[in-house]
Chain A
Amino acid sequence: MNINPTKLISNRLREVSSTQHASRLAECTTIESSLCSTTNNSSNTNSEEDDDGIHPLAELANKRSNNPQPPLDDGITGGGSSISCSNHFSGMNTTLSILERCAPHSIVVPENSAIASLDNDMNEKQREQRVAVWNAITTLSTICDEINELEISFREGILPSIVLFSADDNSSEGEYNSSGRKSTSKKDILDEQIQSRRESNLLSNIGKFIPTLQLACNGTNRLKRLVMNMVMQLGGVQTPCVVPVHDDEQGRQEGVRQGSEENMSESASNSGAGGTSSNPNAGSHVNNTRDNQKEELQPPIFGQGVPMFRLGKAICTALRLLISIDTAISSNTDLLEAWGMYKDVVMEWSTQKHNDTTTSKEEREEFESFERMMIQLDYNLLSCRSFINAIEQNFDPTNRFHNANFPLYDEIKSILATLYGQYCERINTELETSERLDCIGVYGMYILYRHLLPPNVIPDVKLHNSLWSVFPAMCPIMEIYGPNCYFIPREFMMEYGSYKGVKGCSADIPEIRNGVASMVLKWDGSFKVRVDKIRVGALGWLARADSELSPNVPQPSVKTNEDVDEEDVEDAMITSSLESIEATTSCILRGVHVLHSASILLRSHLMSHRALGLAYDPGHISCLISLIKVIKSIEKMLKVRRRTAVVSFQRCTLKMPAQNILKRFDKVRSFVDQCSSSVDFPSDSDRTRSITRVTACLTALEGVLKGTSSFSPIRRQVFIFLIRTCFLSHKISHCPSTLPSTHKRHAIAFSIAACMDTMMLEVFTTDDLRAVEVCLSNLSQIASIEETLNQVCDCSFLYFYRDLIPVFVNHLYETNLKSSLLHDQLILSALSDPEQLLKQVRHLERDTVTGVTTCLTDYQNFVRNVLKEEYAAPICEMIETNLRYDLCM
């Protein structure tokens, strides 16, 4: 009799679990329940099997038995005795696809065949409009991409350097500091010798720090200009503009064919989407055809109602970076003190130079340029006014928006309200990723909105109320970088945009801080429960991932009968492989979500207590360690143990969302083709313009989606703009009423459109839009999984909580005494992460032989000493005692 092995294992598991120890049983059932929940969430394919009474662990065990890789060596979380992830990772040859680096215009502008199609069957205006749409999308994508690049530079280079300016002041390492250097702590206020040494160190450091400050200053200046550009683009694409029109037909055609690639990028970065960039010839043919130019009022490229959320997000990111840099500088008192001293020294030196008659002219000029640079740094960066300087710009220098009666502030308000709603919906849920940080930008945008408001317009009370109460209730304080660089939304609102007219929306700073502290303490009560939930979820995921994430798990075989055709078998095979890919995708993305949850909880708990001066509850140490273990075990699973699975999954999965998106737009393409072939409207009509716009977007969209299998951020930006433009343009042609600006309102607009034109519902439904959004989100997550993993799994922030490291190690030892398995390496792997951070600090002294900073050496010594004191010493003492005891016996 053939017995199904899965059922057999299920029966055995049930029998075993009935005789298990109570606590073990409880854990088992909890993991089981988590497995069941993920199974139900991820797919419904297993529902039939569940009905058969198959234990979920048995199902996993069966899959795992097909996997040739060795089992987890030391318990379900793994990694107990193996080396850290980074060491493993460096030796491995399996790398994920490198994101492409290419100019945006070469992505957006379709292939030569499409450009050539411009000549055929198309009048001049339509051709111009198409090129204008491509230009606009190129411009907006370029700007967003630049913001992304700047964000990475700030996150990985500038912010850590600023925060770690006084990193060599290792006073917090206390008794474990045995580096041999004399500590120059600022705590020894009464010791003059120590203070003078410290001041000398600070002066020396700030001197070496000037290049970093210049880099930061350039970054903030660029961000400031980008903020201005983006805000202008917001209105620019929705308002008509005066553009030069060329009568030189030949020059235009050449410009389209030859100059498009070069000039689009120039026009994109110089003039922008909503301005004069609508003409791609602007770059090369302006001089030649200057005489033939005349001015014409062109209709807006996109028109009103196109939701520019992506641009809004980019503005938020830029403002967040400016707020971050201001906060990082203002919170680093050492940096400000050193800068003050440095300024004094330079001033003194300047006086000497002026009085000194022997100084040559060249030297004097050189010194003057140095002084100018100092003034620039002082004004733009170290005065901590980057954010304010960015939002206090004139965003309508040519009165374009004023003349067009375009309420720019209203557009900003609409975008910020929508983004705020979207972010708040996801905070404190399993789907939360970077929403908390993004909300900082939303608050920055609110201040921008307040600045843009004309004096006779009252600010939106509801919006203010919501910003004051909703997000701060969920997240009263959040980390920007390290424990000293944080953001308290209410404090920020009081500082930059107080509104005393709204009741209950104003408070003093101490009152706000007390409120935040009480909220943090209140949440401490549920900390353990939340950690347990994450831990159990992670354990369930680890068990599932260990079974499912294998490149060569055999597919379920399809029973081949004589009656069944070969084609059916093939179809069944394809379906099962697609299901398998989908299951793998959902499994990996689920792991990333668990990672996010653990990382957010760990960081926020550590930071909130440190920033508010609250003591850590000793009972929470085990929870903190659990969270670190969760992060590192998932990292290990995705980056080391199942690396090959992730690599193969990324390569085969990336094209799926792209294909899905294309598939969704097939109907739109046929509809538009049909419309354009049978168009009987005047060429200036809104409908014709909309159809032309949609056609242009579709052509570009197809080119972008079919172009490559590597989806860099710039490519994703292009998608989003294309889809938004395409989608809204489509609606413009059918819906003359006020157009929606949020996703939810799309449904309403479609309903209206459906009432007016029944054909619309057949073409592109709200479900289609949602499906496309999901595909885009998946595409984004899959394409950037490597960066996400690096970012979320990075525990380098533990450097700022060095005082907790001895407690962690002590706790590890204590746990190991009771456990039969060692889980040290996961924690030690987390303790290794600060090394990467410390390698980035360039202004500190470096060892001449090894090339590493003394700060890094000090940290390594510190960890070694902690291990000796807190881990090895108790073992030594116990062994000695036991030996003596045995001798006496």
Chain B
Amino acid sequence: MYYFARRAVSGEKGVGVCLRKFITAPPLYVGQMKFYVKNEVEAYLDKTFYDACALNLNECNKYNQMRSLAKQKYGLVLADPQLPNGSLDQSVDFIDVLRDLDRK
């Protein structure tokens, strides 16, 4: 958490380069085990973005932008969460659809 706080506040320009170094580095070997930092970061961001999107669908666009930024800046390939883009207010309300079905 210490690093998080320090780096988050600073927003230095060199941070991106520094982080890219970790991601582009070859895998780490411990005995017969391989440890890919890139995979770990991708898994973490996938999970975090998915959870955040699922909680608040209004921010889907924002996270999509962040995904493309992640690819652009760090070469991270993040999976599409396959969540509906938008909220109940902005698109067809499925409850209304059900009501219509009842009427019919």
Contact partner of B41 (CB less than 8 A), chosen from A825, A835, A875, is A875
Asked if A886 and B69 sit within 8 Å, CB to CB, the answer is yes
Instruction: Confirm or deny: A333 has a beta carbon within 8 angstroms of a beta carbon on chain B.
Output: no
Q: Mark A843-860, 1 if CB is under 8 A from B, else 0.
A: 000000000000000001
Instruction: Confirm or deny: B70 has a beta carbon within 8 angstroms of a beta carbon on chain A.
Output: yes
**Chain A residues, Cβ within 8 Å of B66:** 883-884, 887
Instruction: Confirm or deny: A729 has a beta carbon within 8 angstroms of a beta carbon on chain B.
Output: no
Instruction: Confirm or deny: A233 has a beta carbon within 8 angstroms of a beta carbon on chain B.
Output: no
**Chain B residues, Cβ within 8 Å of A822:** 21-22, 25
Contact partner of A832 (CB less than 8 A), chosen from B22, B25, B30, is B30
Stretch of A80-88, A142-150, A214-222, A681-689 that contacts chain B: A80-88
**Chain B residues, Cβ within 8 Å of A242:** none
Distance of A302 Cα from B32 Cα, bound (Å): 55
Stretch of B11-19, B81-89, B93-101 that contacts chain A: B11-19
Given contacts A872-B37, A877-B4, A887 and B65 within 8 Å (CB-CB): yes
Contact partner of B8 (CB less than 8 A), chosen from A813, A864, A872, A885, is A885
Distance of A82 Cα from B28 Cα, bound (Å): 8
Chain B interface residue count: which class? 35 or more
Distance of A868 Cα from B44 Cα, bound (Å): 10
Distance of A396 Cα from B18 Cα, bound (Å): 74
Q: Mark B36-64, 1 if CB is under 8 A from A, else 0.
A: 01001100110010000000000000100
Contact partner of B70 (CB less than 8 A), chosen from A814, A860, A879, A885, is A879
Given contacts A885-B11, A887-B66, A879 and B29 within 8 Å (CB-CB): no
Contact partner of B29 (CB less than 8 A), chosen from A825, A874, A881, A885, is A825
Instruction: Confirm or deny: B33 has a beta carbon within 8 angstroms of a beta carbon on chain A.
Output: yes
Asked if A879 and B19 sit within 8 Å, CB to CB, the answer is yes
Distance of A880 Cα from B45 Cα, bound (Å): 7
Asked if A828 and B30 sit within 8 Å, CB to CB, the answer is yes
Distance of A868 Cα from B47 Cα, bound (Å): 15
Contact partner of A83 (CB less than 8 A), chosen from B21, B25, B29, B40, is B29
Name the interface residues of A120-146: CB closer than 8 Å to any CB of B: none
Chain A interface residue count: which class? 35 or more
Asked if A874 and B28 sit within 8 Å, CB to CB, the answer is no
**Chain B residues, Cβ within 8 Å of A884:** 66
**Chain B residues, Cβ within 8 Å of A877:** 1, 3-4
Name the interface residues of A860-882: CB closer than 8 Å to any CB of B: 860, 863-864, 867-868, 871-882
Distance of A881 Cα from B45 Cα, bound (Å): 11
Distance of A831 Cα from B30 Cα, bound (Å): 7
Distance of A871 Cα from B15 Cα, bound (Å): 16
Name the interface residues of A803-848: CB closer than 8 Å to any CB of B: 813-814, 816-817, 820, 822, 824-825, 828-829, 831-832, 835
**Smallest CB separation, B59 vs chain A (Å):** 11
Asked if A878 and B7 sit within 8 Å, CB to CB, the answer is yes
Contact partner of A876 (CB less than 8 A), chosen from B31, B35, B44, is B44
Asked if A835 and B22 sit within 8 Å, CB to CB, the answer is no
**Chain A residues, Cβ within 8 Å of B28:** 824-825, 828, 867
**Chain A residues, Cβ within 8 Å of B41:** 872, 875-876, 879
Distance of A83 Cα from B34 Cα, bound (Å): 9
Nearest residue (CB) in B for A831 is: B30
Contact partner of B4 (CB less than 8 A), chosen from A81, A83, A867, A881, is A881
Asked if B35 and A817 sit within 8 Å, CB to CB, the answer is no
Contact partner of A874 (CB less than 8 A), chosen from B4, B33, B69, is B4
Nearest residue (CB) in B for A874 is: B3
Given contacts A828-B28, A874-B4, A876-B45, A860 and B40 within 8 Å (CB-CB): no
**Chain B residues, Cβ within 8 Å of A876:** 40-41, 44-45
**Smallest CB separation, B7 vs chain A (Å):** 5
Distance of A886 Cα from B70 Cα, bound (Å): 10
**Chain B residues, Cβ within 8 Å of A831:** 30
Nearest residue (CB) in A for B12 is: A882
**Chain B residues, Cβ within 8 Å of A886:** 69, 73
Distance of A882 Cα from B76 Cα, bound (Å): 14
Asked if B15 and A878 sit within 8 Å, CB to CB, the answer is yes
Distance of A817 Cα from B62 Cα, bound (Å): 28
Distance of A886 Cα from B25 Cα, bound (Å): 23
Nearest residue (CB) in A for B22 is: A875
Contact partner of B40 (CB less than 8 A), chosen from A81, A824, A835, A872, is A872
Given contacts A824-B28, A831-B30, A871-B37, A878 and B44 within 8 Å (CB-CB): no
Nearest residue (CB) in B for A822 is: B25
**Smallest CB separation, A823 vs chain B (Å):** 11
**Smallest CB separation, A889 vs chain B (Å):** 8
Asked if A828 and B29 sit within 8 Å, CB to CB, the answer is yes
Given contacts A874-B4, A882-B15, A882-B16, A87 and B29 within 8 Å (CB-CB): yes
Asked if A817 and B3 sit within 8 Å, CB to CB, the answer is yes
Given contacts A883-B66, A886-B69, A887-B66, A878 and B25 within 8 Å (CB-CB): no
Besides A814-B3, A879-B19, A887-B65, 16 other A-B contacts (C-beta < 8 A): A86-B31, A829-B29, A835-B32, A873-B44, A875-B19, A875-B22, A876-B40, A876-B41, A876-B44, A877-B4, A878-B8, A880-B44, A881-B4, A881-B7, A882-B11, A886-B69
The 7 closest A-B pairs by CB, nearest first: A872-B40, A876-B44, A832-B31, A881-B8, A877-B4, A835-B31, A874-B3
Query: B-contacting residues of A (Cβ < 8 Å)?
Result: 81-84, 86-87, 813-814, 816-817, 820, 822, 824-825, 828-829, 831-832, 835, 860, 863-864, 867-868, 871-887
Give me 9 A-to-B residue pairs in the complex whose CB atoms sit less than 8 angstroms apart, sorted by A's number.
A83-B29, A867-B35, A868-B40, A875-B19, A875-B22, A876-B44, A881-B8, A882-B7, A887-B62
